Structure 1
Amino acid sequence: MKLFVFKLCSNKRGKTEEYNPMGLTSFQTSGRKGLDSLYLKVGKVDILTTVRLNPKLFYLFLKPTQNPPLMNKLYLGILLLFSFQFPLQAQKKDPPEPKAELQSEHQRKIPIDTTITTQHSVTINGTPIEYTAITGMQPAWDENGQPIAALQYTYYTRNNVKDRAARPLLISFNGGPGSASVWMHLAYTGPRALKIDDEGYPVQPYGVQDNPFSVLDVTDIVYVNPANTGYSRTIPEELDEKDRKKFFGINSDIKYLAEWLNTFVTRNNRWRSPKYIIGESYGGTRVMGLSLALQEQQWMYLNGVIMVSPADYKILRNGGPVSDALNLPYFTAAAWYHKALPAELQNKDLLKILPESEEYTLNTLIPALAKGWNITDTDKNAVAEKMAYYSGLSKEAILDQNLVVPPSYFWKNLLKDKGAYTLGRLDSRYLGFDRQVAGMDPDYNPELTSWLHSFTPAINYYMQEELNFKTDIKYNMFGPVHPWDNENDTTRDDLRQAMAQNPYLNVLVQSGYYDGAVTYFGAKYTMWQVDPSGRMKDRFEFKGYRSGHMMYLRRDDLEKSNNDIRAFIERTLAKGESAKY
């Protein structure tokens, strides 16, 4: 039985005030049709009345008058004539009280289509920039025009722009799959950035500060949270297996996001703008697929694809000699950072030794691993010795692994005899320590725990206090999107086809040398494989940084990487050139 709560008001001398006629201090009603019961508190006496009144008649009785005390005595008397009253204490059960959880649940429902606009300013590279922030929810539609999800986004536009159509639009996604688009939003390209030290470690009190290197000076930006990440939710939230397939897989993810972007671009009148799309980690896979889906399904053509620490899941999932060998240059970089290499290498700059490790990987290690058990003992020992030279691990440990060293073993054992620290997976500059020194895998990822306890309070504060997006709903840093359908991954080929069809389309790849989850050399390899013919190689660009997966957390690389995006955008704007070969 639904419970309704009312308050009486009267107009006295032009003012609306609460009052208690005849000592009426509270009353509640419950009922399905009309009024079934009225719960009154008159003075200190609790009364439960049972009535059968039409709702309109009930509201007439409670209508405020110019003489509340007199008239309400009459109205209350009429009500009691229609009721059978007895003291509340005589009842076996108390009248139902309003349920707080039902009231709170209403507050946790986010409208599927809404916007909130705020005004801000920031100084970027010494230039004051005034900008508008629009945050809200926009539906994703099915084939019948029904909303199937509400995606939360934040859209930044620079103010006082004469020709909005000529201004680029940067569309930003993070990865996971299942990660919110918070990392690049609050630490990389956005106008406000996480409070961290110059090496990317969190500081308290948590919060945000101006980002003096944001690319908002040269491009407008929209950050999109896919379904079930951030504040985004599917409709309904609980889906059966069939409906989950509309969202949670490589190809379904690309399909509905392409449709959503069409709606966003149309609503915000950005069809004529040069468009760029940036994705981090799994977001690299996502944006490779979107480059073709936007062209073929939405007739939307991009000027640039930016892949930050991109994951090519064909390499990561399939494994094999190439996948295993591509880890060695990363081992070299991480070991160099922790001073674990032989002096001959350790005394050189990182960028001097990485080409050596890369060349050895391509020309010797991949062919050696491809031989499997067919490799000779002499060659196997020679390879193990060279791998030890470039990785900081012992030759014996490498032989124990039959030349195939899992990254987790490297993280656990590189510093086993040097403080027994473990290395971070996403950023191997970070250190942790385990309950036991021995083992094959670290107990936890020290970099991820560090990031979560600083990003989570920052994004919740920023959305609610600075962008005025008020809600009780949980912000999902990582959302429930699994199981994820990884079948039929053609995204690398999709990017090649999109570039072949669109002469304007260029690619920038950015990676951190200390990223052990998605290695920089794996990203290079992916880039090389997109177009083996080499006919489009001049439209690819690779940039490496002395940091990890989120290379922008290190202040020097935050400045450098944003400047690289600026230069990429400037270089790839068509500027009146014809789209032809």
Structure 2
Amino acid sequence: MADEKNEGAVTAPATQGAVRGTYASVPADRATDVPAPASARLAWTDGERTIDYEATAAHLEVRDDAGVLLGRMFSLSYVAVDGEGRADASRPVTFAYNGGPGSCSVPVNFGGIGPRRVATDGVSHVRADAPVEDNPHTLLVESDVVFLDALGTGWSVLAEDADPKKIFCTDGDADAFARAICAWLTENGRWSSPLYLFGESYGTVRNAVLMRLLAERGVQLTGVVMLSAVFNIAGLLNPGDDLYYLGMMPTFAATAQFFGKAGAGVGEDEWFERALAFAEDELAPALLRGDRLDEARERAVAERMATFVGLPAEHILARHLRVDLLDFRTHLLAAEGRVCGRLDTRFSSDAPSPMQGYDTWIAGEDAADDAVEGPWVRAFRRFCADELGFHGPARYLSNNYEKVNAGWDWSHEEPGLGRVATPNVSLDVAVALRRNPTLKLAILGGRYDAATTWWNVVHDMSCQFLSPALKSRVSWHLYGCGHMSYVDEPTLEAMGRDLHAFYEKR
């Protein structure tokens, strides 16, 4: 990253005043003050190609239908420009974000698909002074990109009198993003551009709802990218649900192989395929029988499972074939005094002190997150301040789980079902595809992702019974990585190729 300060920071675009003016009859807004927008003309290169682009840090006003301010959503936009500084309206625009709920967009930006990226070092922790480089696999090659921080995260703020309960919920969150996206398109004159969504983790839940919601509001999408997807919240996040254990098992098997506890002499792809087959053909029938499964069959399945996941058969039997993530993380490497990660199970760290036995606390400790988040946020803040001249508040909420996630209302107005307590948004995805068969969808994931396991999203989509024509609009990409696929440079390169093909697809 260049060290010199940007001399060309600019104030808000003239169009912002016009947008605010349409609400002249609305009482004065009450919201936390936000800094003025700032931008700079920069250049990206991979040594062969060069793209001039304008990077802009700004806040988008999120207003309800009556013009009442709900909040101001922070955005960091990268827009390719010509020699005279003009954008190309025929280029796609992609709106990108992370998940949580309660996470900012920095990881997917400075870790993944933005024009700048913090250099990583395999599964080792990234140093605080790690170099920041032009990202050779940035999505800017294919599309202009707008990174958005959900309200309550990053530098995004709620209006003073906005009700958090109406924002920190499945449907309220999607509504806020729909309004912010429309505000950006209006302010930047980009309604003629092909529109894409790129969501990671909970961002894929947001994507699923937005696919349907935006179309219902007359905003047609060209494509949607789901990275590390989760659709059926109950099936993935609730230990005790058979779908949870089935989804975890292949990821456990991949992890055991990575640490040399299983799968010796077998290729990674083949080993994962074998684990998927075992989960569906042997483990699933056994789990469904519960205590009706006879002891001999339960032992046989446990012994087979032990060869996959690297834990003793007796350990698995004691849990009646139901090994949860915390159990696996704390036992697989126990002999070495280590605990493996959650977001990416290839990462590991020293086990906590025996005095620190609080399960909820241990579950939140994750070497995969510790290894990268600090350097990403530091690079982002340096970029905004030194290159754009944007000076945000002293605290940047890279995550705000305490206020956003802890009180999240998961209920959802499910199309065709009414309000449900926990969503299965694969139904929203299917509805969006059926209503718009020109829409294309890419689903990307990693074998070592124990936060949003690959098997579950495959299962959820298979239960939608899409026609062959609609299935052809969905592309699947499985990588040898964890939740944040871009941490792994070979995966980032492969993902770049796959996204190029996806954006090229008609």
Please confirm whether the aligned pair reaches a TM-score higher than 0.5, indicating the same fold: yes
One of 445, 453, 456 as aligned partner of 2:374: 453
**Greater RCO (Cα-Cα under 8 Å, separation 6 or more):** 2
Preserved contact between residue 527 and residue 540 of structure 1 (Cα < 8 Å): no
Which residue does the alignment assign to 2:203? Answer: 283
Structure 2 counterparts to residues 144-543 of structure 1, below 5 A: 144-160=66-82, 164-199=88-123, 201-206=125-130, 208-236=132-160, 243-297=163-217, 299-312=218-231, 313-317=233-237, 319-341=240-262, 345-417=263-335, 419-433=336-350, 434-436=352-354, 442=362, 444-479=365-400, 480-481=403-404, 482-488=406-412, 489=423, 491-531=425-465, 535-543=469-477
Q: Equivalents in 1 of 2:123, 2:47: separation in Å? A: 20
| Deviations 1:82-108, CA, capped at 9 Å, x for gaps | xxxxxxxxxxxxxxxxxxxxxxxxxx8
Paired residues, number: 454
SS in 1 for 2:372: helix
* Higher mean displacement: 313-322 or 285-294: 313-322
Preserved contact between residue 200 and residue 555 of structure 1 (Cα < 8 Å): no
Instruction: Give the superposition deviation at 1:150.
Output: 0.7
Preserved contact between residue 90 and residue 193 of structure 2 (Cα < 8 Å): yes
Preserved contact between residue 207 and residue 457 of structure 1 (Cα < 8 Å): no
Instruction: Give the superposition deviation at 1:207.
Output: 5.3
* Higher mean displacement: 429-438 or 244-253: 429-438
Which residue does the alignment assign to 1:84? Answer: none
Which residue does the alignment assign to 2:418? Answer: none
SS in 2 for 1:266: helix
SS in 2 for 1:109: coil
Q: Does 1:120 align with 2:42?
A: yes
Q: Equivalents in 2 of 1:127, 1:559: separation in Å? A: 16
Q: Equivalents in 2 of 1:378, 1:536: separation in Å? A: 44
Instruction: Give the superposition deviation at 1:552.
Output: 0.7
Q: Equivalents in 2 of 1:256, 1:283: separation in Å? A: 13
Q: Equivalents in 1 of 2:337, 2:122: separation in Å? A: 26
Structure 2 counterparts to residues 53-132 of structure 1, below 5 A: 109-111=33-35, 114-124=36-46, 126-132=48-54
Q: Which amino acid aligns with 1:230?
A: G
Which 5+ residue runs of structure 1 have no aligned equivalent?
1-107, 573-581
CA pair 393-131 structure 1, distance change in 2 beyond 3 A: same
Which residue does the alignment assign to 1:34? Answer: none
Preserved contact between residue 197 and residue 203 of structure 1 (Cα < 8 Å): no
CA pair 201-554 structure 1, distance change in 2 beyond 3 A: farther
Which residue does the alignment assign to 2:14? Answer: none
Q: Which amino acid aligns with 1:130?
A: D
Q: Equivalents in 2 of 1:262, 1:526: separation in Å? A: 30
Please tell me the root mean square deviation across aligned C-alpha atoms, in Å: 2.1
Instruction: Give the superposition deviation at 1:219.
Output: 0.8
CA pair 202-133 structure 1, distance change in 2 beyond 3 A: same
Preserved contact between residue 124 and residue 214 of structure 1 (Cα < 8 Å): no
Preserved contact between residue 80 and residue 88 of structure 2 (Cα < 8 Å): no
CA pair 186-305 structure 1, distance change in 2 beyond 3 A: same
Q: Equivalents in 2 of 1:163, 1:149: separation in Å? A: 28
Which 5+ residue runs of structure 2 have no aligned equivalent?
1-31, 413-422
Q: Equivalents in 2 of 1:502, 1:532: separation in Å? A: 13
| Deviations 1:513-568, CA, capped at 9 Å, x for gaps | 11111112223223323445555221111111112111111111111112211111
CA pair 532-387 structure 1, distance change in 2 beyond 3 A: farther
CA pair 440-355 structure 1, distance change in 2 beyond 3 A: farther
Q: Equivalents in 2 of 1:404, 1:487: separation in Å? A: 27
Instruction: Give the superposition deviation at 1:512.
Output: 1.4
Larger radius of gyration: 1
Q: Equivalents in 2 of 1:371, 1:508: separation in Å? A: 35
Provide runs of 4+ in structure 1 moved above 6 Å.
Answer: 437-440
| Deviations 1:241-278, CA, capped at 9 Å, x for gaps | xx112210001111121122112112212212111101
Q: TM-score, normalised by structure 1?
A: 0.75
Instruction: Give the superposition deviation at 1:152.
Output: 0.7
Preserved contact between residue 124 and residue 217 of structure 1 (Cα < 8 Å): no
Preserved contact between residue 174 and residue 281 of structure 1 (Cα < 8 Å): yes
CA pair 403-514 structure 1, distance change in 2 beyond 3 A: same
Preserved contact between residue 236 and residue 456 of structure 2 (Cα < 8 Å): no
Instruction: Give the superposition deviation at 1:455.
Output: 2.1
Preserved contact between residue 430 and residue 466 of structure 2 (Cα < 8 Å): no
Preserved contact between residue 420 and residue 437 of structure 1 (Cα < 8 Å): no
SS in 2 for 1:305: strand
Preserved contact between residue 409 and residue 440 of structure 1 (Cα < 8 Å): no
Which residue does the alignment assign to 1:65? Answer: none
